[in-house]
Amino acid sequence: GDSVTQMEGPVTLSEEAFLTINCTYTATGYPSLFWYVQYPGEGLQLLLKATKADDKGSNKGFEATYRKETTSFHLEKGSVQVSDSAVYFCALGTNFGNEKLTFGTGTRLTIIP
Amino acid sequence: EPEVTQTPSHQVTQMGQEVILRCVPISNHLYFYWYRQILGQKVEFLVSFYNNEISEKSEIFDDQFSVERPDGSNFTLKIRSTKLEDSAMYFCASSQDYGYTFGSGTRLTVV
């Protein structure tokens, strides 16, 4: 079945550091890939998505590129801020995003000033 | 921006009681979902719903759970006889062609 393997946390970085959170997937067919963010006490917000190979999703300075050859969708940001502290979930979906999402375990990110 | 709305935001119930969690999906979406997240753990799929019927359900979604779309706007999750292990955050979502949106969740606490 489909699965998502996500970098274990927690991750603690200093402000303005470079961020990478690794995500790899196993899926049949051609999934869409997503990063969701969950701020403390809140729900899941879509951060970015990519729907086909070599697509790059980007939002709020975060980027991730859909790499079919390595089955990866790593999240990156060049300079993190304290406000980026949250839990980040990688997820995959099929059928043009109209089926269940399979989530990774989540990575808790803490940015210290 | 369109939102998925969930009510209540927090519900406390006694073990063995029935609860109904409510959701209003985005109006032009056709696919609806429930997920749950036990505190500190991953988000788990429960059920998907399309064209007024369940399209897929997980092994978690046993006979104690049911979903319904009682009118043109609401989508509900019912747990018939709650157990302590049902305590979790429950998220509703709706989608239409990559526009996959989650509500802010209902925190269910079973005591």
Query: If contacts are CB pairs under 8 Å, which of residues 41-100 in chain B contact chain A?
Result: 41-45, 48, 50, 55-56, 58, 91, 93, 95-100
Cα separation, A104 vs A106, whole angstroms: 6
Strand ordering across the sheet containing A56-59? A19-21, A75-77, A62-65, A56-59
Instruction: Convert the pLDDT of each residue in A21-46 to its tens digit.
Output: 999 999 987 899 999 999 987 888 99
Burial class (CB in 10 A: 0-12, 13-18, 19+), A92: buried
Q: What is the pLDDT along chain A (113 residues), one digit of tens a residue?
A: 889 999 888 999 999 999 999 999 999 878 999 999 999 878 889 999 998 999 999 999 999 999 999 999 999 999 999 999 999 999 998 766 677 899 999 999 999 99
Q: Which residues of A fall within a CB distance of 8 Å from B30?
A: 98
Residues 6+ positions from A69 with CB-CB distance below 8 Å: none
Query: Can you name the residues that pair with B50 across neighbouring β-strands?
Result: B31, B53
Q: Is the pLDDT of residue B81 over 80?
A: yes
Tokens at B42, concatenated: 């991953």
